[in-house]
Amino acid sequence: MKLFFRALLFFIAVVIFQSTLTIFLVEGIVTRSNEADARLELENSSKAVYESYTTWVRRLWKTVVKVNKDEEFKKIAASFPDLYNTDDLRNWSEEILLLSGMDFVVLKVHDRIVFEYFDIGNTTLGNGSLREVNAEREHPYIELRKINGGIYLTGILEIDASKGLELFILKKIDTDFYKQTSLPAKSKIFMVNSRDTSFGNDAYAEAIKTMTEYGIPFRTIYSSIQDGHSYNIAFRNLGRIKQDSGEDNLIQVLLISNDPYQRIVTRINKTLLTVSMIVSLFAILLSFFLSDRITRPISLLIRAMEDISKGNYRIKIAHGSRSEVGKLFQGFNEMANQLDQNKKDMESYIQEITFLKDYNEKIIHSLRAGIMVIGNELGIEKVNGFFLECFHLEEQETLGKFIDDLHLDIIDQSVLGSIKEIICGEINSKSTTRRVGNLVFEIKLYPLRAVNSNKDRKCVLEIDDVSKKFELEEKIFQAEKLSSLSILSAGISHEINNPLSSILTNVQNLLAEKNEEETRTALVWIEQETKRIAKIVNELLDFSASETKGNEGTDVNSSIREVVRLINYGLEKDKRIRITTNFQDKLPLAVISSSELKQVIINLIQNSIFAIEERGQISITTSLKHNNQGILIEIKDTGSGMDKETMQYIFDPFFTTKPNGKGTGLGLSIVYGIINKFSGEIDVQSAKGSGTTVILTIPVLKVITEYQIKIEGI
């Protein structure tokens, strides 16, 4: 019975919620629709009122311009001072007001009004109303003025400045002013200035104040209550109005009653409430019947579920109905059978997973590469047999320990830092080499994480013995170094020929001349050129010599200067390429040897020379990394650049874009090997047609010295 009453209360709550929601939604839709209509009505009415105002402004302007050109009026004005009582002036004024629709014509001489004519239904402005008003411009103009409490459009025309004769044509802005405008019932129009405090509603005063301070021309307020009625209000700034207290802004206020829309909403709400109450009553009666039909099958299902929870998966619920309840019972019976089958399958899967786990363990331990899995707390979670064999460790000595507790020579602070960066997601992979005694190991780091998730990241450390590969790269490096000398020989031979030609010329001059002083000059010249030949040859021999002593560090700037000087020998003949340098002073020594650094720079400059098709420039810049742990070398050219597809293979051995006979394809591969040998970094940035930039990062000497002390026990 408890379930029955819960179902009954649920149906009743649903019906009440639906009725309330329907009333709320329908009321909202009707309200928004009425509000949209009211806004449109307010905008159209305000626009019509403003257009009526501008129409009168244009009509007054045309009238003033017409009077200024009126020959008849000029004749009347010429008869001054006897003009203000003449019938001609009165008839002329009557015609002007009749044609233009204006209300007043006033003629003033200095501060004295000499003639005043007004339309039927208007009273005089008063003798003092325009006495203080004078024409401020020579040409006709229009302005708004407050006169005797009324607001007037005033057209002013200076007729004769020497006589002080001025003409005023006025139109009063009152209820009759907007009679031609079709406005809704119960609408109001009036004019206020920004200093008017007659409004009791703060929203009105705030709107007028905002329009005045910020120069806003138009503003609206919707559903505002005034005198117990709802109004939509439009404010429009008509411009500056002059009055006795000074100038101020004139605001046109249009109020349109919102009561018709409110009455429609009220009627709709009453109708919806009545309908909802009738529907709710019917739904409550219907829910009594439906609740009983639903709760009985649920009770049967509850008892069957209790049997399944006790392990009886063969339970069945008898049913003969083809309704949804019958299908529910049938689905429950099928589910019970499926649970029984799933239990048997699960046992089979557990056996298979156990077998695969053992199989994977055998594969990992059979690999001839050291594998270690490091957790996010730098704890060792997995290690294979080859790793233990290489470093003479036992499995119980490693699992569960922290990696920095193993004190392995191959894992220094730099490797530990890279492991932390991979676990934190700062880098995706890292590769470096380390030498231990006569062996060279390549260390690879990459993340191990769950599928489609960056959480719980771990690091896989792979160690390979690359001693033989490293030895082969050393041999290839030496071969490439010797090959580079053949490329430089063309430029050097050119430089040798120049001093030899000088020697030959001076010798011939010495034989031809008999003057002893000239002979001494030629001999000095021969001596200078001979020294120059010797210097070039010595530099070539120094470069080709193999490195025999230990690495004591390299002055990067000095080594690059020597390479640039050698290459410039060949470039001076062909003036299309220029090499510029920008070195940071007082750089620390780099860990790389001088010969290897020269080999790297020569290979990169040769590639830049080949990439420059016509004229171009190669710039070389050196600087110290922000953490003072590395030296940056940037080589930038204005060559043809490379596309993304070519960039993928530039470090592969024997890959080259040069024609046959122009390159071996080993240059950049050797550059990569040399930089990687000293734990440096190389970054290549290029785009087709935009040149290439190569950035080398080489550690300073003190980092490697500390590392060598640690692993070699020096």
Instruction: Count other C-beta atoms under 10 Å from residue 450's C-beta.
Output: 10
Cis previous bond, 81, omega within 30: yes
For helices 259-309 and 2-69, the axis angle rounded to 10 degrees is: 150
Judging by beta carbons within 10 Å of its beta carbon (0-12, 13-18, 19+), is residue 346 exposed, middle or buried?
exposed
Task: For the chain, report the end-to-end CA distance as a whole number of angstroms.
Answer: 89
Domain membership flag for residue 335: no
CATH number at residue 129: 3.30.450.220
What pLDDT score was predicted for residue 38? 78
Domain membership flag for residue 306: no
Mark which of 437, 465, 493 sits at the end of a domain: 465
How far does CA 93 lie from the centroid of its chain?
A: 69
CA 444, 448, 452, 453 dihedral sign is negative
Predicted confidence band of residue 695 (pLDDT cuts 50, 70, 90): very high
Which tokens belong to 602? Answer: 């020569």
pLDDT beyond 50 at 711: no
Answer with the residue of higher pLDDT: 624 or 295: 624
Q: Tens of pLDDT along 28-59?
A: 787 777 778 878 888 888 888 888 888 889 99
My answer on whether 693 and 626 are in the same domain is: yes
Domain membership flag for residue 208: yes
My answer on whether 84 and 164 are in the same domain is: yes
Mark which of 177, 207, 232 sits at the end of a domain: 177
My answer on whether 504 and 593 are in the same domain is: yes
What pLDDT score was predicted for residue 513? 63
Q: What is the three-class DSSP state of 198?
A: coil
Q: Which of 90-104, 620-634, 641-655, 694-708 has the highest mean pLDDT?
A: 620-634
pLDDT beyond 70 at 530: no
Domain membership flag for residue 371: yes
What pLDDT score was predicted for residue 573? 61
Q: Which of 176-190, 239-253, 299-313 has the highest mean pLDDT?
A: 239-253
My answer on whether 582 and 616 are in the same domain is: yes
Distances (CA, A) of 571 to 248, 440, 580, 652, 668: 81, 40, 13, 29, 22
Judging by beta carbons within 10 Å of its beta carbon (0-12, 13-18, 19+), is residue 204 exposed, middle or buried?
buried
Instruction: Count other C-beta atoms under 10 Å from residue 538's C-beta.
Output: 10
Q: Tens of pLDDT along 379-426?
A: 888 888 888 888 888 888 888 888 888 878 788 888 888 888 888 888
Average pLDDT over residues 568-580: 75
Q: What is the three-class DSSP state of 478?
A: helix
pLDDT beyond 60 at 546: no
My answer on whether 460 and 480 are in the same domain is: no
Domain membership flag for residue 107: yes
Mark which of 225, 257, 289 sits at the end of a domain: 257
Q: Tens of pLDDT along 478-529?
A: 556 545 554 555 455 556 656 656 665 665 566 566 556 656 566 666 666 6
Average pLDDT over residues 140-163: 86
What pLDDT score was predicted for residue 584? 92
My answer on whether 104 and 190 are in the same domain is: no
Average pLDDT over residues 82-109: 80
Query: What is the largest distance, in Å, between two alpha-carbon atoms of the chain?
Result: 141
CATH number at residue 565: 3.30.565.10
With contact defined as beta carbons under 8 Å apart, do 462 and 444 qualify? Answer: yes
Which tokens belong to 378? Answer: 């730098």
pLDDT beyond 70 at 565: yes
Domain membership flag for residue 507: yes
What pLDDT score was predicted for residue 538? 54
Domain membership flag for residue 198: yes
With contact defined as beta carbons under 8 Å apart, do 455 and 433 qualify? Answer: no
- HEC secondary structure over 491-538: HHHHHHHHHHHHHHHHHHHHHHCCCHHHHHHHHHHHHHHHHHHHHHHH
Residue ranges of E strands in 575-680: 577-582, 616-624, 630-637
Which tokens belong to 391? Answer: 């470093």
My answer on whether 568 and 687 are in the same domain is: yes
CATH number at residue 441: 3.30.450.20
What pLDDT score was predicted for residue 529? 61
Q: List, in sequence order, every residue forming a beta bridge with 193; answer none if it has no partner.
A: 250
My answer on whether 418 and 564 are in the same domain is: no
Q: Please name the amino acid found at residue 91.
A: N
With contact defined as beta carbons under 8 Å apart, do 645 and 709 qualify? Answer: no
For helices 467-512 and 516-544, the axis angle rounded to 10 degrees is: 170
Structural domain that includes position 452: 367-465
pTM for this predicted structure: 0.38
pLDDT beyond 60 at 368: yes
Q: How far apart are CA 474 and CA 652, in angstroms?
A: 16
What pLDDT score was predicted for residue 309? 75
pLDDT beyond 90 at 348: no
Judging by beta carbons within 10 Å of its beta carbon (0-12, 13-18, 19+), is residue 67 exposed, middle or buried?
buried
Least confident of 204-208, 318-322, 656-660: 318-322
Average pLDDT over residues 682-709: 78
Q: How far apart are CA 685 and CA 162, in angstroms?
A: 84
Q: How far apart are CA 77 and CA 88, in angstroms?
A: 10
Answer with the residue of higher pLDDT: 205 or 291: 205
What pLDDT score was predicted for residue 710? 42
What total of structural domains would you count in the chain?
4
With contact defined as beta carbons under 8 Å apart, do 325 and 299 qualify? Answer: no
What pLDDT score was predicted for residue 697? 93
My answer on whether 426 and 544 are in the same domain is: no
The percentage of residues in the chain with a pLDDT greater than 90, rounded to a whole number, is: 8
Answer with the residue of higher pLDDT: 567 or 244: 567
Of 594, 532, 534, residue with least CA distance to 558? 594
What pLDDT score was predicted for residue 635? 94
With contact defined as beta carbons under 8 Å apart, do 609 and 618 qualify? Answer: yes
Average pLDDT over residues 290-300: 68
Domain membership flag for residue 133: yes
Q: Tens of pLDDT along 577-595?
A: 889 999 999 899 999 988 8
What pLDDT score was predicted for residue 97? 86
The region, left, alpha or beta by phi > 0 then psi within -120 to 50, assigned to residue 506 is: alpha
My answer on whether 528 and 677 are in the same domain is: yes
pLDDT beyond 50 at 704: no
Q: What is the three-class DSSP state of 490?
A: helix
With contact defined as beta carbons under 8 Å apart, do 694 and 605 qualify? Answer: no
Please, what is the average pLDDT of the chain? 77
Judging by beta carbons within 10 Å of its beta carbon (0-12, 13-18, 19+), is residue 374 exposed, middle or buried?
buried
What pLDDT score was predicted for residue 705? 42
My answer on whether 137 and 191 are in the same domain is: no
Q: Which of 21-25, 150-154, 284-288, 574-578 has the highest mean pLDDT?
A: 150-154
Of 401, 397, 354, residue with least CA distance to 381? 401
Which tokens belong to 486? Answer: 């053949």
My answer on whether 497 and 560 are in the same domain is: yes
Average pLDDT over residues 67-74: 84
